Amino acid sequence: MRRIVVMVVLILVACTGLAAADRLDLEQARLERNKQTVIAFYTTFMNDHDPEGAIKKYVGAEYRQHNPFVRDGKEGFIAAFKDLFKRNPQARMEIKRAVAEGDFVVVHVHHLDPTGGKGRASMDWFRLDADGKIVEHWDVMQWVPEDNEVKNQNTMF
């Protein structure tokens, strides 16, 4: 009888370990899906100049904007980027890195300057819903300084 109890306990421990490993694999897959969603969203609206397509494909039912210079909601986002592309039809960016944790994805972005300047650096935070759709955005942005203004040898990227 004792042998049976030990075997049952060992089987339960093994199953619990497998379940935990499966949960970890699912979480890693969800984080990677969220990173790829944000990268595709950013690339579609910024490099393809298609804010409507980006919103339609990658954003959830609601979109909350925390950038104080962009109106809240999907239409505010679309209007802001249509205006940007009218003023700067050469606008492009490079995503330097993306990090995902929980429901958040952060991208470190170099906004290129087609006139030859250094451009801008941004850190954009996105929150995604359970379906992997973007529902909220925050950002901070600064100009990349000219070489003669830099106080160290480290780059911003």
Side chain identity, residue 71: R
| Span 89-121, pLDDT tens digits | 999 999 999 999 999 999 999 999 988 899 999
Is the torsion defined by CA of 40, 60, 23, 27 positive or negative? Answer: positive
Q: Helix 51-58 to helix 2-42 angle, to the nearest 10 degrees?
A: 160
Residue 152: its pLDDT value, please?
94
Number of domains in the chain: 1
pLDDT at position 116: 85
Own/partner long-range contacts of 113-120 (Cβ < 8 Å, ≥24 apart): 114/88, 114/90, 117/144, 118/143, 118/144, 118/145, 118/146, 119/143, 119/144, 120/144
Task: Flag whether 63 is in a domain.
Answer: yes
* CA-based end-to-end distance of the chain: 64
Residue 22: what pLDDT? Answer: 82
75-97: pLDDT as tens digits: 999 999 999 999 999 999 999 99
Domain membership of residue 8 (yes or no) is: yes
What per-residue confidence (pLDDT) applies to 24?
A: 78
What is the domain-level CATH number for residue 126?
A: 3.10.450.50
pLDDT band at 72 (very low <50, low <70, confident <90, very high): very high
In a domain, 20, yes or no: yes
Q: And the tokens for 85? A: 């592309």
C-alpha atoms less than 13 angstroms from C-alpha of 65 in its C-beta half-sphere: 15
What is the tens place of the pLDDT at every residue in 8-64?
Answer: 555 655 555 557 778 879 999 999 999 999 999 999 999 999 999 999 999 999 999
Residue 108 near residue 97 (C-beta atoms within 8 A):
yes
Tokens 């009888």 -> residue: 1
157 located within any domain: no
Q: Is residue 56 part of a domain?
A: yes
